[in-house]
């Protein structure tokens, strides 16, 4: 799913807390901090944690959500490009090319 509301993100946090607890992982971003970001309508909300991989090495997991409107978030790059293109009256291809040219 490309779009989420606050409750869906809170449900995601709850699920990840459970998984992290079961697998003895460690949060890099405290879940209460992420919940506070949601409550404060911050533009970027993230949750990151480390679990033990099957080879014994740590594996970082996580997700960042970008607020695009009141109670509407996305974690999808294409969705963000679409919104930016609409706001700037450009095509999605133009937005992508501009971003790629800025990186090089």
Backbone dihedral angles phi then psi of residue 23, each to the nearest 5 degrees: -100, 10
Q: Is residue 60 part of a domain?
A: yes
Q: Is residue 92 part of a domain?
A: no
Mean pLDDT of the chain: 92
Q: Is residue 68 part of a domain?
A: yes
Backbone dihedral angles phi then psi of residue 37, each to the nearest 5 degrees: -60, -40
Q: How far apart are CA 104 and CA 83, in angstroms?
A: 23
Q: How many domains does one find in the chain?
A: 1
Instruction: Indicate the SS3 state at residue 37.
Output: helix
- Residue 27's pLDDT band (cuts 50, 70, 90): very high
Is it the case that residue 101 has pLDDT exceeding 80? yes
Q: In the predicted model, what is the mean pLDDT of residues 14-32?
A: 94
- Domain span holding position 16: 3-75
pLDDT tens across 32-62, in order?
A: 999 999 999 999 999 999 999 889 899 999 9
Q: Is residue 52 part of a domain?
A: yes
Residue 104's pLDDT is 46
């Amino acid at each position: 799913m490309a779009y989420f509301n606050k409750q869906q993100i809170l449900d995601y946090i709850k699920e990840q807390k459970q998984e992290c607890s079961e697998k003895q992982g460690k949060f890099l971003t405290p879940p209460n901090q992420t919940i506070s970001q949601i409550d404060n309508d911050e533009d970027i909300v993230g949750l990151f944690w480390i679990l033990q991989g099957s080879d014994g090495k740590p594996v970082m997991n996580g997700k960042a959500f970008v607020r695009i409107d009141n109670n509407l978030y996305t974690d999808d790059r294409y969705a963000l490009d679409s919104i930016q293109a609409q706001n700037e009256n450009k095509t999605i291809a133009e937005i992508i090319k501009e971003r790629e040219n800025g990186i090089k």
